[in-house]
């Protein structure tokens, strides 16, 4: 289907998106302006965002690859997302297409995604890189791939290849399911090929981080000094196997095994059972994340990523993160690319109303979002300020954490 009609239809279907605090006041579609105009590049807000930051250490630690696989990349989307009568999945995919400014015509989706991503990287300060995630299949208890229960699939080989051919802009993150009988060998291979971390989405991939059968996997991660970036908190977009798998407390098992764990999105959505106590109380997942962050024993191996915390539905945790400067060297920034390009997801005026953003920044940020989603996310997060306090430079200089010691 042609890009215009696909996205146009999705704009209507977007109203059905569930789980999102969906604001239409900034418009719906990203107009995908091609070049960063000089006045934006030189803008004082953009300049200020880079001040005091070593751009060579700024790795955007949470980025998704996207495409339709027509180029032979192996990228795969569950065909149900093409069904306009299933509007939630359909709109979701269409919004990704628009946010990443993909050209769907004549099999160009994979290639145009990469071109657009690279162009945006090159418009950042020199040295900036993105960490692009692979995404393993959902797997059954025996470790067999279950395409019918998977939402999408990004082969490790594909993102590793992109990192190799575009080493100045792209680092890669493998996604290896721990129930795959070949998992340990795959971990070794990923480490040998320069993967910077491993990514899991437990509720979508059917992974229980607290399961003893992951212990050998965790021992291998610890030995390789390979960080595990695990989604925690509700996922909402990609369901499947139960939100309980996203309970941050289930990550005690890899933490206790000495694995470096990055809890994606600081577990900012939903509630989880307090499995530390017999009460079985349901508490906000963010509160459970905070409990882990405050435990002295995890000070050296637990981090949180702040991907998507400016989204309308996650914004409740933003002030809490800004108020905890002692955490900031253990927070790593990621954009969740291409999501910040989905215009209605981040309602900038609400950030202003909650006194975390200067209203004078609004117009510039809106323009940035239309041209460069990576720069938009970076400048927005660098501009956040609550009672004179923003995120520390260390939150953005993430390379030092992900460059594995030899
Ligand atoms: Zn993500």
Percent of the chain scoring above 70 in pLDDT: 90
Q: How confident is the model at residue 115 (pLDDT cuts 50, 70, 90)?
A: very high
Please say if the pLDDT value at position 20 is more than 60. Answer: no
pLDDT of residue 405: 66
Q: How confident is the model at residue 238 (pLDDT cuts 50, 70, 90)?
A: low
What would the mean pLDDT of 217-221 be, rounded to a whole number? 98
Q: How confident is the model at residue 93 (pLDDT cuts 50, 70, 90)?
A: confident
What would the mean pLDDT of 347-358 be, rounded to a whole number? 94
Q: What is the residue whose two structure tokens read 């109303």?
A: 353
Asked which of 24-28, 87-91, 191-195, 388-392 is least confident by mean pLDDT, the reply is 24-28
CA 144 – ligand 1 centroid, Å: 24
Please say if the pLDDT value at position 14 is more than 60. Answer: no
Task: Find residue 129's DSSP bridge partners.
Answer: 59
What would the mean pLDDT of 106-116 be, rounded to a whole number? 89
Q: Return the higher-pLDDT residue of 394 and 346.
A: 394
Please say if the pLDDT value at position 71 is more than 70. Answer: yes
Peptide bond preceding 156: is omega within 30 degrees of 0, i.e. cis? no
Please say if the pLDDT value at position 309 is more than 70. Answer: yes
pLDDT of residue 13: 33
In this structure, what are the phi and psi dihedrals at residue 404, rounded to the nearest 5 degrees?
Answer: -75, 140
CA 216 – ligand 1 centroid, Å: 26
CA 62 – ligand 1 centroid, Å: 6
Average pLDDT, the chain: 90
Q: Is 244 helix (H, G, I), strand (E, B) or coil?
A: helix
Query: pLDDT for 157-192, tens place per residue?
Result: 999 999 999 999 999 999 999 999 999 999 999 999
pLDDT of residue 239: 61
CA 263 – ligand 1 centroid, Å: 11
CA 217 – ligand 1 centroid, Å: 22
Asked which of 96-100, 108-112, 135-139, 279-283 is least confident by mean pLDDT, the reply is 96-100
CA 61 – ligand 1 centroid, Å: 10
CA 275 – ligand 1 centroid, Å: 25
pLDDT of residue 247: 97
Please say if the pLDDT value at position 390 is more than 80. Answer: yes
CA 231 – ligand 1 centroid, Å: 8
pLDDT of residue 237: 64
User: CA–CA separation, 172 vs 134, rounded Å?
Assistant: 8
CA 71 – ligand 1 centroid, Å: 23
CA 201 – ligand 1 centroid, Å: 9
Q: Return the higher-pLDDT residue of 22 and 290.
A: 290
CA 279 – ligand 1 centroid, Å: 32
CA 230 – ligand 1 centroid, Å: 10
- What CATH architecture is 37-77+113-402? Alpha-Beta Barrel (3.20)
User: CA–CA separation, 372 vs 163, rounded Å?
Assistant: 20
CA 340 – ligand 1 centroid, Å: 11
Length of the chain: 406
CA 39 – ligand 1 centroid, Å: 31
**Burial 125-158, CB ≥16 within 10 A → b, else e:** eeebbbbbbbbbbbbeeebeeeeebbbbbbbbeb
Q: How confident is the model at residue 105 (pLDDT cuts 50, 70, 90)?
A: confident
pLDDT of residue 41: 92
Please say if the pLDDT value at position 257 is more than 80. Answer: yes
CA 6 – ligand 1 centroid, Å: 23
CA 38 – ligand 1 centroid, Å: 30
Q: What is the residue whose two structure tokens read 């369901």?
A: 239
pLDDT of residue 406: 60
CB-CB contact of 346 with 404 (8 Å): no
CA 12 – ligand 1 centroid, Å: 24
pLDDT of residue 275: 97
User: CA–CA separation, 191 vs 185, rounded Å?
Assistant: 10
User: CA–CA separation, 375 vs 183, rounded Å?
Assistant: 35
| Domain spans in the chain, listed from the N-terminal domain onward | 37-77+113-402
Query: pLDDT for 357-369, tens place per residue?
Result: 999 999 999 999 9
CA 308 – ligand 1 centroid, Å: 8
Asked which of 128-137, 152-161, 198-207, 343-352 is least confident by mean pLDDT, the reply is 343-352
Please say if the pLDDT value at position 22 is more than 70. Answer: no
Please say if the pLDDT value at position 353 is more than 60. Answer: yes
User: CA–CA separation, 369 vs 378, rounded Å?
Assistant: 11
């Amino acid at each position: 289907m042609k890009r215009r009609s696909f996205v146009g239809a999705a704009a209507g279907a977007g109203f059905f998106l569930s789980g999102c605090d969906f604001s239409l006041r900034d418009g719906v579609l990203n107009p995908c302006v091609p070049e960063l105009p000089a006045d934006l590049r030189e803008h004082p807000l953009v300049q200020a965002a880079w001040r005091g930051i070593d751009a060579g250490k700024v790795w955007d630690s949470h980025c998704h690859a996207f495409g339709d696989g027509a180029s032979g990349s192996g990228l795969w989307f569950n065909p149900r997302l093409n069904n306009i009568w299933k509007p939630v999945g359909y709109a979701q995919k269409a919004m990704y297409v628009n946010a990443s400014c993909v050209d769907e015509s004549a099999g160009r989706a994979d290639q145009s995604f990469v071109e657009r991503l690279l162009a945006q990287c090159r418009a950042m300060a020199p040295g900036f890189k993105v960490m692009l995630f692979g995404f393993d299949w959902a797997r059954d208890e025996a470790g067999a791939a279950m395409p019918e229960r998977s939402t999408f699939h990004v082969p490790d080989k594909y993102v590793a290849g992109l990192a190799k051919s575009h080493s100045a802009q792209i680092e890669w993150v493998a996604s290896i399911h721990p129930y795959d009988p070949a998992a340990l060998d795959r971990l070794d291979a990923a480490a040998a090929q320069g993967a910077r971390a491993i990514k899991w989405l437990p509720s979508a991939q059917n992974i229980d981080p607290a399961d003893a059968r992951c212990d050998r996997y965790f021992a291998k991660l610890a030995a390789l000094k390979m960080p595990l970036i695990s989604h925690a908190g509700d996922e909402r977009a990609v369901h499947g196997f139960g939100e309980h798998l996203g309970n941050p407390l289930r990550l005690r098992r890899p933490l206790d095994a000495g694995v470096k764990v990055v809890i994606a999105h600081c577990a900012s959505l939903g509630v989880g059972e307090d499995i530390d106590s017999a009460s079985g109380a349901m508490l906000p997942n963010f509160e459970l994340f905070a409990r882990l962050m405050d435990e002295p024993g995890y000070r050296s191996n637990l981090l949180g990523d702040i991907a998507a915390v400016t989204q309308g539905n996650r914004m409740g945790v933003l002030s809490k993160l800004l108020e905890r400067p002692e955490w900031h060297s253990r927070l790593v920034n990621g954009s969740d690319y291409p999501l910040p390009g989905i215009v209605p997801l981040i309602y900038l005026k609400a950030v202003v109303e909650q006194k975390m953003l200067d209203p004078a920044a609004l117009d510039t940020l809106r323009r940035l979002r239309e041209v460069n989603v990576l720069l938009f996310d970076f400048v927005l997060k660098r501009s956040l300020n609550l009672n004179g306090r923003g995120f520390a430079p260390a939150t953005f200089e993430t390379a030092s954490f992900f460059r594995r010691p030899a």
